[in-house]
A and B are shown apart, each in its own frame.
Chain A
């Protein structure tokens, strides 16, 4: 992407400070600086980034009649922590699966580090340096914690069938991997658990193990699917610190999260999805102050049909489980008066096309 316009416009440190003061009970003792100046031009869905690591174009995935993901253009900034948020069923995890090769889109192209990933299987995506974790933790229960970690290392000679039969070929490498694994485990305070079966860990410890295991592959991009889900509050802070450390070590982080405090606290950039589309992008403070986002996507009005709010469908076609009348009235009065006119205008081209 072009870097002709280097200057960021909107995100300001004032806003950050202000937000940090106002709320955020989980705030770290030492607030680390946010990375700013990531995008080019106005922060709107699909905005170009100064240095994107992932660029997706026209990625669409349907399940039967339902369109789970329909992303026209999306760029993920390098060297920053990006949060992907949105209500349940917005297509966040599906997008994750598509980007990592665990699912195949009906159409669309996307690149990682300039290399096209269309049709590339998941394991090759991971080898390129893009690792992910899962929403439901996938600790390999009947392997020990240490074995879990060693599995994460790439390029192991002993993992090839024939050479695995000759220990001399892989012993040294394995010892090095083990040393690195123990180092990481110590950092994640799991070293005492190294010889135990991963099945014996608590939910939060498994999350940590999964993240540590992903780091064994020395990735460029770490994708975390709901890293905080089911984590004991006592572990939350250390998990947040680990994620912030990733950025400090030069990695890019993309994560899906429902916990807004966490998003505000650590994300440099936020992408909001709803009904499979990217509906807003920006730094955490401006996105979260966007009333449309607050109202429609963060659960203030869950009885509203998002389709009606965004003008995608008429009230008659609204989902029967929602309050169609309320949705239209919101559309007409509340949202408009609450200053969402710009936001609506930004969605407009998109929704117009959709109507046809």
Chain B
């Protein structure tokens, strides 16, 4: 079953709140789209329709809330006085319709003995372009998962998210440490990985097998990092451009890349193969084999990276430069070469994070990296700017926090929660958890 909530594999049964991040971000981009005249979100003018009827013993129920999620983002709808509802959707694809049981009258629930989560239905908009969804409503127990089980499930998802966030954040942190750039275009390096993967493995494109295509996407991303360094950052280093200028250059780069992606892949969401792999049950935790693979790959890559950073000559040189660039240069380290390697690694790790994130959300979108950027900054700052391990620990904390906080605050505010934490951390411990005070000021 496809999760209606891309960021969390939903617990079996009733979700506390279904409005998700994707809604937030899609709607956020509305304005930009309005400017660019390429509506990619569900709107009145969309060609296809999902509709239904909510009744209790033949009596229509008014004001029952339903959430429809799928390509084009989440939509919310309420039943009218006849118990009827309808939404327009942009694409023929799979959608999830969830009925908010809290809006049903007291003591009433969606009942279906065959289904673990009867309040939620998957539908496919097919050839006809129209589909009807009905729920069985009657007196009965609402489907409730214990708080604890939800907590465990979200923690595991949060760790998964945190690990992939960590992959990206390590690169951001390394780049900052060695060059002083607060790279606002790092999110686009994440998107690049996902877009490259889509280009290599999607059925409509090259359709390479996953085991070749996805690693190749990571290699391409590393090459992208190299390209950026050679074409942009190294000349700017030569020109001795100041860090604030570099930061604004990275903002310009971020805008240019972001809209370049949109130029080529459009405003919609595309999926990688196996994005809707079935969930397996491990006690209270539901994971698909994609989730498991994602966790394993992240951990392996992070260990490999840690070994590189601590054991190899190049890794040690990187740390030396992060510590004191001019001293490192004076002691014979080829700073330019090391920085180039750092860009390659940052690009590769960001690309890998992009591929994993494309499965996690799920979906590839032109601005997916930008969604992650501030969380990366939050993670890096939390751990201490310029320290790779700090970035990793910060990422895990942010990942878990984002997912678990959804238990208590509306899920469309869970990113806001992480950002508030970022601000508070900066105020009270600007050097981060693992950072050293001397780095400040």
Chain A: CB-nearest residue to B436: A64
CA distance A10 to B20 in the complex (A): 82
Is A63 in the interface zone, CB < 8 Å from B? yes
CA distance A64 to B438 in the complex (A): 10
Interface residue tally of chain A, by bracket? under 10
CA distance A63 to B437 in the complex (A): 9
Interface size on B, residues (CB 8 A): 2
In B320-353, the 8 Å CB interface with A consists of none
Q: Which residues of B contact A64 (CB under 8 A)?
A: 437
Q: Nearest 3 CB-CB pairs, A to B? A: A63-B438, A64-B437, A63-B437
CA distance A331 to B437 in the complex (A): 37
Q: Which residues of A contact B (CB under 8 A)?
A: 63-64
Subset of 3 A-B contacts with CB under 8 Å:
A63-B437, A63-B438, A64-B437
Q: Which residues of B contact A63 (CB under 8 A)?
A: 437-438
User: With contacts defined as CB atoms under 8 Å apart, how many contacts are there between chain A and chain B in the complex?
Assistant: 3
Q: Which residues of A contact B437 (CB under 8 A)?
A: 63-64
**Taking the nearest CB of chain A, how far is it from the CB of B337, in angstroms?**
30
In B389-441, the 8 Å CB interface with A consists of 437-438
CA distance A63 to B440 in the complex (A): 13
**Taking the nearest CB of chain A, how far is it from the CB of B440, in angstroms?**
12
Chain A: CB-nearest residue to B438: A63
**Taking the nearest CB of chain A, how far is it from the CB of B436, in angstroms?**
8
CA distance A63 to B436 in the complex (A): 11
**Taking the nearest CB of chain A, how far is it from the CB of B211, in angstroms?**
49
CA distance A63 to B438 in the complex (A): 9
CA distance A34 to B321 in the complex (A): 50
CA distance A15 to B380 in the complex (A): 62
Q: Which residues of A contact B438 (CB under 8 A)?
A: 63
**Taking the nearest CB of chain B, how far is it from the CB of A106, in angstroms?**
13
CA distance A64 to B436 in the complex (A): 9
CA distance A64 to B437 in the complex (A): 9
**Taking the nearest CB of chain A, how far is it from the CB of B32, in angstroms?**
35
**Taking the nearest CB of chain B, how far is it from the CB of A268, in angstroms?**
35
**Taking the nearest CB of chain A, how far is it from the CB of B16, in angstroms?**
46
CA distance A193 to B438 in the complex (A): 38
**Taking the nearest CB of chain B, how far is it from the CB of A183, in angstroms?**
36
**Taking the nearest CB of chain B, how far is it from the CB of A341, in angstroms?**
40
CA distance A23 to B227 in the complex (A): 62
